[in-house]
Structure 1
Amino acid sequence: MAFKEGFVWGTATASYQIEGAVHEGGRGESVWDEFCRMKGKITDGDNGDFACDSYHRYSEDVQLMKQIGIKAYRFSISWSRILPNGTGEINMEGVNYYNNLINELIENGIEPYVTLFHWDYPMELQYKGGWLNSESPYWFENYAAICSRLFSDRVKYWVTSNESQCYIGFGYGTGWHAPGLELPINQVVRAWHHNLKGLGLAAKAIRQNAKGEVKVGLVSCGEVGIPASDSEADLQAARNVLFDRERSEDSIDFGFGDLFEPAIKGEYPKSLIPYLPKGWQEDMKDICVPLDYIGINVYIGSIVEACEDKKYRNLKLPVGIGKTSMEWSFKPETLYWVTRFISERYNLPVYITENGMANNDWVSTDGKINDTQREDYMNQYLSALSKSIDDGADVRGYFYWSLLDNFEWAYGYAKRFGLVYVDYSNYSRKLKQSALRYKRIIETNGEILI
């Protein structure tokens, strides 16, 4: 079951979830610093002030990746660590931190994949309205241009944004995430539209300011439809989950297609059009910008079938189905269907930029972290991915989420996703058994999968 030669085996993190040092090195505040101060927003009142302390321990983290055999590392840059006010003066202490991280990765044979925005939006820009402000796309364009000039001599692979669906949907719609707004659907879609325009402008800016060869991608997420049968009607129902979701006026549930359709095809799903801001058509030239690859974050799958009165109908999952500690169902075929459908629709190289599970991990009496469920999760999901590739999906790499246990947003430190166990009392790290399993998978390029 070996993967193709050159398949990229990686792992991923995000700046606010691991760096800590929020008051060090000239960093400005982000919306997550403010959100964590709001009573009742984060489990146990936690925050990312220290997180995994990777700001001080990045060298140790690189050595752990090298020990596992990781070939590529997707990490995000904290916008407010580079530009404390979101625009204006560059913070050289922040630049030096990322320069040191990038250099250390390269020295240890690990390819850096840089994400420009993974939710820690500068607070100074949020005071101006954040993504609701029609100037916000240009703020992001400026930030992207600066990062390209600073790092593109060594960074080839770029991601403009991670999961805009979650940032805008949860941050502007439900209030579950920073900045904690609960806005009507037309305002949520306004922020969505400005965000997409910013991503397109950023892709152009990366290329225009690059000092070396660059590849620019975009990362999406959402629910995956698993067809109830192999009938063409059920297959189309599953595609609709990805590309043409059901939507009601009182609910915003962004999916893969809400991002990829305008960014790649130049067309919004019809269900979004009534809520778009006036003059949105003029922005499509900035939103639909050529991409070199696309990234997909895959966690949740639902069994669906065709029906006469809707685009699809969700079926009840089997009683007693296995679930992760996030209460997400264990459905390995999710990775098969999403890569098959995404690859056939967009005809671009695909990377699995996140996939993994939260588990209740602890150090056992033998001194090990025996996360056997995570090992099996890897085996079964990667086997499904291998089958999809054999069936024609153009998938170039897989990034396990996450390298480290970390600050899991609104859940605080209650959920552990990492290959590496973090003791939050002293920030010590220890490889879990799943990390050793991943090491063997990488060494054999997937041949040992069962």
Structure 2
Amino acid sequence: MSILTRRRLLHRAALSATASAGLSPVAAAVAGAAAAVTVGCDTPPDGDPTATPGAGTLRFPRDFGWGAATSAYQIEGAAKEDGRGESIWDTFSRTPGRTRNGDTGDVAADHYHRWSEDLDLMRDLGLHSYRFSVSWPRIQADGTGRPNQRGLDFYRRLVDGLHERGVAPMVTLFHWDLPQSLQDAGGWENRDTAYRFADYADAVFRGLGDQVPVWLTVNEPKTVVQNGYLWGHHAPGRQDPDAAYLVAHHLQLAHGLAVRALRATGSTARIGPAFNLHPCYPADDTPAAAAATRLYDGYENRLYLDSVLTGAYPADVLADLGEDSRLVRGIADGDLEIISSPVDLLAVQYYTPIYVTADGGTVRRWATSEAEWQQIYPEGMYDILTRVTRDYGPVPITVTENGLPCPDVVGADGTVDDAGRIAFLRDHFAAAHRAIAAGVPLESYHVWSLLDNFEWAEGYDQRWGLVYVDYATQRRIPKRSAHWYRQVISDNGL
């Protein structure tokens, strides 16, 4: 990697130190006063969220799947129970200064003990599908060796309970909770970790058998790369561009090895990766902004999409990194063939657009949520879905995350009124509906998140759930958005 590229990546990281999509320090001045507005969640900006023009006219395909999503470290708790080992998020969150208020996932939403109650909530919502993740250190405490039967039994109970309630399980193998023992051996910088992941995946495939119809391999490898190795505000807390993109390669390799491991079992289940995709737009009409946007898109989207769906990394990104980069030097013969092992579907996660300036920086164009990195732009959902189909062909797509954090509180009447979340979801559902009409093979949509949970470096300050969690008592209260979503599911439309 050239010194110039290293400096540029670190500069981008510095501009983005509190965001999952970068914001320039001069963003507010450039984007204008309107863009600095934070969206409230009690009263939506356009009035009653149920009073959509043409309400009742947007019907989704008859077999469309409606769901919700969570991840293991964010909800399970039981951090030291039944043979679970330490993960990098246990280490990171227990390190002073790493998370807001020093919060950890030690208890989280206590889903490990309250899973049956939570499955009843899913049944009552009418969910068709539940996307959750398996905790790697719950299956292999040190990331290797014989699987922990108590861990497998928990997920067997969960999967069986979902089927009993008519909800299809969609299981993610890796949602960032790498066993600490593997991190001590080099983590995702160590090529061997990809092979250890394949062994772990095989153990889970064989442990849960044919009861899981859809598997997702690696959740948001880009977030691990950027937040964990460029910006350093996620585990393992590094700031090293040279390491970051080698990590990207090994995560992609792990994905491909897991796909092959599933095929080797003879399973007929479907499998694919889960990518958070950010549509990138030029901040102005200059050729320089267009060129900078193309490269930015390479790092944000094409690095992951191209390798899995075309079997090659984007040439402009490789050239920008340089021949001396650890990524380029780390690609072994046959790696891209493994990474591009045929998949059955692509999981897309959409939260925000990115507007790129001529110098490769970013600006804000739209109002943000409580997560300051998230610009509210439903049109981006349409753009990213149609772009994937246009550029990569009709690979089946499932939306596995889309949602909004709100400052939810329990009212005097015991309810939680999150009208702004309803407006947000309504507009994004409508954008997805337009994408389907435009020919996108979108099969299902999973709201993030089912429950309020541990929001990584933000601890418990941000609430993303359809269901409110009182962390002191672990009481669950379906929010207004949950009741609205139940009706959307029942109507199969808006």
Please report the TM-score for the alignment, with normalisation by the length of structure 2. 0.82
The match for 1:378 is: 425
Return the alpha-carbon distance in structure 2 between the equivalents of residues 246 and 417 of structure 1.
28
Is 361-370 or 272-281 further displaced after alignment? 272-281
Return the alpha-carbon distance in structure 1 between the equivalents of residues 110 and 183 of structure 2.
26
- Amino-acid identity (%): 38
Name the SS for the 2:84 alignment partner.
Answer: coil
The match for 2:313 is: 268
CA displacement at 1:316 relative to structure 2: 5.0
Q: Name the Cα RMSD after superposition.
A: 2.2
**2:253 paired with 1:186:** no
**Contact 1:295–1:351, Cα closer than 8 Å, also in 2:** yes
**Contact 1:293–1:349, Cα closer than 8 Å, also in 2:** yes
Return the alpha-carbon distance in structure 2 between the equivalents of residues 295 and 427 of structure 1.
30
CA displacement at 1:334 relative to structure 2: 1.1
The match for 1:440 is: 487
The match for 2:278 is: 223
CA displacement at 1:313 relative to structure 2: 8.6
Amino acid across the alignment from 2:351:
Y
CA displacement at 1:391 relative to structure 2: 1.4
Q: What does 1:219-298 align with in structure 2 at a 5 Å threshold? A: 219-225=274-280, 244-246=294-296, 254-273=299-318, 274=322, 275=325, 276-278=327-329, 280-282=331-333, 283-298=335-350
The match for 2:263 is: 207
Name the SS for the 2:67 alignment partner.
Answer: strand
The match for 1:250 is: none
Return the alpha-carbon distance in structure 2 between the equivalents of residues 344 and 197 of structure 1.
25
**Contact 1:226–1:337, Cα closer than 8 Å, also in 2:** no
Instruction: Structure 1: give runs of 5+ residues left out of the alignment.
Output: 248-252
Change (3 A) 1:313 1:128: closer
**Contact 1:152–1:214, Cα closer than 8 Å, also in 2:** no
Q: Could you list the runs of 4 or more consecutive aligned residues of structure 1 that deviate by over 4 angstroms after TM superposition?
A: 226-229, 312-316
Amino acid across the alignment from 1:430:
I
Q: What does 1:309-388 align with in structure 2 at a 5 Å threshold? A: 317=365, 321-327=366-372, 328-347=374-393, 348-388=395-435
Give the alignment partner of residue 152 of structure 1, picking from 192, 201, 209.
Answer: 209
Return the alpha-carbon distance in structure 2 between the equivalents of residues 279 and 43 of structure 1.
35
Is 350-359 or 339-348 further displaced after alignment? 339-348
Change (3 A) 1:254 1:405: farther
The match for 2:33 is: none
CA displacement at 1:330 relative to structure 2: 1.5
Deviations 1:28-56 (A, max 9, x none): 10000000121111000000000000000
CA displacement at 1:343 relative to structure 2: 1.5
How many residues are aligned here?
A: 427
Change (3 A) 1:139 1:316: closer
CA displacement at 1:89 relative to structure 2: 2.2
Return the alpha-carbon distance in structure 2 between the equivalents of residues 315 and 182 of structure 1.
23
Name the SS for the 1:278 alignment partner.
Answer: helix
Return the alpha-carbon distance in structure 2 between the equivalents of residues 47 and 342 of structure 1.
36
Name the SS for the 2:210 alignment partner.
Answer: coil
Amino acid across the alignment from 2:177:
D
Change (3 A) 1:23 1:281: closer
The match for 1:111 is: 168
Q: What does 1:128-167 align with in structure 2 at a 5 Å threshold? A: 128-167=185-224
Deviations 1:261-299 (A, max 9, x none): 111111112243222242515121211111100011100
Amino acid across the alignment from 2:188:
W
Name the SS for the 1:153 alignment partner.
Answer: helix
Name the SS for the 2:217 alignment partner.
Answer: strand
The match for 1:120 is: 177
Return the alpha-carbon distance in structure 2 between the equivalents of residues 171 and 196 of structure 1.
16
Amino acid across the alignment from 2:251:
N
**Contact 1:12–1:401, Cα closer than 8 Å, also in 2:** yes
Amino acid across the alignment from 1:410:
A
Q: What does 1:39-78 align with in structure 2 at a 5 Å threshold? A: 39-78=96-135
Deviations 1:37-76 (A, max 9, x none): 2111100000000000000000011000111111000000
